[in-house]
Structures are given as structure tokens and as C-alpha cells.
């Protein structure tokens, strides 16, 4: 992701020096060495937890269980959560945690033991409500159920299975919000309704598959999707439901028999109306962005576009809808789940989708208005609006 430049932000909004001091570094960094024995194996690793800014509420951000976790990367991810929660107007700050282990090296029971130790070393952070985790790379709803089982506080973690205090519609929420954003952005930036527009989705995990599902429901023609094995394509449109059933059985897309095959690089260069990078970070680089021929890019993944790629796409006149807006459906649903846990209310799947749609559309309207008035990119508009929200909150709390 292109780094947030406070000098750029200050050209469009008042940014007091005292605010810059608080926004240019994390509020809190915690590193804990975790050590436990699993059968005959001793497992030792770092757990990193970051509260980047809590002016607007508790630090919200997922648990990344991945071997490449480092403190600088956790800081970057926590900062992004500050802007994401502020932009869509939910009362959370930004945080993140990371466990530097490879989840594929552990059985289900071993992973459960690791997560129980995670709760043990971070129990005060979880019980006081200042850090509220959720699933992220390498973790899922079953892992959040483990955390709930160790704390017995349903509001201390989100992304739980619905039967143990989770939220109906949470699984689909990020893809739902992404599809809603794609549809509305097409009207704003391409001046066309979604019906009949061609879409290529790079990444067919939870976010990409549900985004494809909802886009197909709304009349878009999803013509290509990919996973780590490669991509499949059909100019007349793919049966997204059939592909999702295929990958749910653990089968790679490249083995699907009914469609033509592409490489991931070829998918990124396809002549489509909308490209949705929904896999991982830094897939649009200087090289791959030069080949992009889509009319609009909507970021489903966190940080899929490098700074060099962002500049190239801007020079080509391709609008990029940033991740802090486009994939915010997940954190919106986390807020609904947290609120549900604290109040004891019941929430249906449709109510979850309605709230996700409402907040995504409201944020997009503010971004497009700012983009039009100030003649800036959607990314810069989203960042300025998010920073303004956090600065106002810090002023309200007497921090500046």
C-alpha cells in the first residue's frame, strides 16, 4: 500500500502538529515471547500486539497467524484499521496482533493449544476490552471460538461462529461490502450500472468468492477468477457458485475442467471493466500495473497496490477504490457482532447485510464528493476524511 503522507493530508485539512505526533507512530507496541510444548516439540515465538490509535474506541484488528509476521508489518496493519474504522464511522480504533508461526504446520488440536496460550499471555488486554481481535490471515471462526471459550466474554472477540455468539452474515460480510462498493463505484466513476459489466477477481478465497457471488446476483458478468494455482475464464461469464463449491472441496481452480485457463498475471491484464484484487498484498506492482487495462480497480485485499503501481494507474486515468473503503464490510460486521454481544440483541443475516451496505455506501458517497470537489484520487480522499475523523476525536478527548 502506498504510505500515508501527512504532508499530503495537511494540504486538504487542518492537521495540528500535536495531532501529527500521535498519528505518525503507534500508541502502544507489545511484544511477548510465547513458549509451549506440543507433544515432543517446543514451540517458541513472538506475539506482537499493536494499538495504533484508540481515540475513537477500542483497538480493533485481526490475529494474523503467519510465519512472516513482524512488528513493523503488524504496525502497518494496525494503522490501516484506524483509517478503515474512522472512514465508515464505527466506534473503534485500530489495532492488530500477530503470531509468527505457520498454521499449516499444526493440527487442529495443536493450533487450539497455541491460541489458548495466546489468550494466556494477553489475558489483561482481552478482558479489559481495549483490544478486540477477529480472524485474519491464518485464523478463522473456529479459532475465535477458542478465544471466547477461554474468556467467556462474547464481546471480547468477533468473527465467532453464529452458534457461539457470532453474527449471521459475518462470513459473507467482507465480500458483500466489496460487491456493494463495486456496484456503487461503477455508477460514480464509470457512469454505468453494474448490469452487464465485466469483472475479473484475483483471489477466490472467502472475500473474492462471496464478492463474485453478490456481483453475479446483481447482474455483473464475472469473467475470470483466480487462486494460487492459476485462473479460469469464460467471456460469457463464470458460474461462481459452481466454482465456490469446487474450491470448498479443496480443489484448485486450475483443475476445474469446464473453463479456459489463465495465469494470475494474465488475469491482472485482462480487458475488463472492473479488476478486483482480492488475494493478498502487493500484487499490483510497477510491472503488473503497466499491463492493467481494466477501467477501474477496486481493492478487495489489504494493500494490493504498491506506491509505484498506484502512480502508474493514476497516470493511466484508472480510478482505484482503496481497501480502507472497499473491504470494510468485515470490520462493520465485527462492530455489529460486538454491539450484539454487549446488548444481548438478536440480529439476522439480512440486517447484517443492510447495515454493511448502508455504511459502505455512506462512506463511498463522502469519498466521491470529496474526490469531485477537490480533484484528488479516491485513495487520497478516503485518507483525508479518515484522518479528519480521528483528529476531531482526539480533540474531543483532550489529547490535542
Q: State how far the alpha carbon of 7 is from the alpha carbons of 13, 251, 290, in Å.
A: 10, 47, 27
145 to each of 67, 84, 124, 342, 400, how far by Cα in Å?
22, 25, 18, 17, 39
70: left (phi over 0), alpha (psi -120 to 50) or beta: beta
* List of residues 6+ apart from 51 with CB closer than 8 A: 26, 27, 28, 59, 78, 93, 94, 95, 130, 131
Integer Cα distance of 49 and 28 in angstroms: 8
Count of alpha carbons within 13 angstroms of residue 278, beta-carbon side: 33
DSSP state of 305: B
191 is catalytic: no
**One of 60, 96, 111, 160 is an active-site residue; which one?**
96
Please choose, from the candidates 126, 163, 127, 157, the residue with its C-alpha nearest in 3D space to the C-alpha of residue 144.
Answer: 157
Can you say how many angstroms the Cα of residue 333 is from the centroid of all Cα atoms in its chain?
Answer: 12
- For 385, the grid coordinates are 476524511
Q: Are 15 and 9 in contact (CB under 8 A)?
A: yes
SS3 assignment, position 261: strand
Task: Give the dihedral sign, CA 226/231/234/235.
Answer: positive
Radius of gyration of the chain (CA): 20
* Cα–Cα distance measured from residue 304 to residue 281, given in angstroms and rounded to the nearest whole number: 4
Task: Give the residue numbers marked as catalytic.
Answer: 96
Amino acid at each position: 500500500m502506498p504510505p500515508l503522507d501527512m504532508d499530503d493530508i495537511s494540504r486538504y485539512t487542518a492537521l495540528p502538529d500535536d495531532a501529527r505526533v500521535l498519528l505518525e507512530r503507534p500508541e502502544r507496541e507489545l511484544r511477548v515471547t510465547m513458549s509451549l510444548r506440543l507433544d515432543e516439540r517446543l514451540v517458541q515465538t513472538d506475539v506482537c500486539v499493536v494499538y495504533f490509535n484508540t481515540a475513537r474506541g477500542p483497538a480493533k484488528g485481526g490475529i494474523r497467524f503467519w510465519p512472516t509476521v513482524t512488528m513493523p508489518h503488524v504496525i502497518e496493519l494496525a494503522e490501516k484499521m484506524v483509517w478503515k474504522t474512522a472512514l465508515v464511522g464505527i466506534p473503534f480504533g485500530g489495532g492488530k496482533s500477530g503470531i509468527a508461526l505457520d498454521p499449516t504446520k499444526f493440527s487442529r488440536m495443536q493450533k487450539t493449544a497455541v491460541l489458548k496460550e495466546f489468550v494466556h499471555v494477553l489475558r489483561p488486554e482481552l478482558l479489559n476490552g481495549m483490544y478486540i481481535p477477529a480472524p485474519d490471515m491464518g485464523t478463522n471462526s473456529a479459532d475465535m471460538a477458542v478465544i471466547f471459550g477461554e474468556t467467556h466474554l462474547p464481546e471480547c472477540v468477533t468473527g465467532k461462529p453464529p452458534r457461539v455468539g457470532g453474527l449471521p452474515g459475518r462470513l459473507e460480510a467482507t465480500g458483500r461490502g466489496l460487491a456493494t462498493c463495486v456496484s456503487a463505484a461503477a455508477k460514480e466513476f464509470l457512469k454505468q450500472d453494474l448490469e452487464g459489466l465485466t469483472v475479473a477477481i484475483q483471489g477466490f478465497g472467502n472475500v473474492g468468492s462471496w464478492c463474485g457471488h453478490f456481483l453475479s446476483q446483481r447482474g455483473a458478468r464475472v469473467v475470470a477468477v483466480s487462486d494460487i494455482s492459476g485462473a479460469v475464464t469464460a467471456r460469457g461469464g463464470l458460474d461462481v457458485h459452481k466454482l465456490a463449491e469446487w474450491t470448498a472441496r479443496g480443489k484448485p481452480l486450475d483443475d476445474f475442467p469446464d473453463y479456459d485457463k489463465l495465469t494470475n498475471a494474465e488475469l491482472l491484464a485482462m480487458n475488463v471493466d472492473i479488476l478486483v484484487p482480492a488475494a493478498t498484498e502487493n500484487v499490483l506492482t510497477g510491472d503488473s500495473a503497466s499491463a492493467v487495462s481494466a477501467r477501474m480497480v477496486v481493492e478487495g485485499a489489504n494493500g494490493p497496490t504498491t506506491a509505484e503501481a498506484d502512480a502508474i494507474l493514476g497516470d493511466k486515468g484508472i480510478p482505484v477504490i482503496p481497501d480502507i473503503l472497499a473491504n470494510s464490510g468485515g470490520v462493520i460486521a465485527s462492530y455489529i457482532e460486538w454491539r450484539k454481544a454487549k446488548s444481548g440483541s438478536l440480529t439476522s443475516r439480512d440486517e447484517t447485510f443492510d447495515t454493511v451496505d448502508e455504511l459502505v455506501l455512506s462512506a463511498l458517497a463522502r469519498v466521491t464528493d470529496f474526490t469531485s470537489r477537490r480533484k484528488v484520487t479516491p485513495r487520497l480522499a478516503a485518507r483525508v476524511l479518515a484522518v479528519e475523523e480521528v483528529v476531531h476525536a482526539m480533540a474531543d478527548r483532550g489529547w490535542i
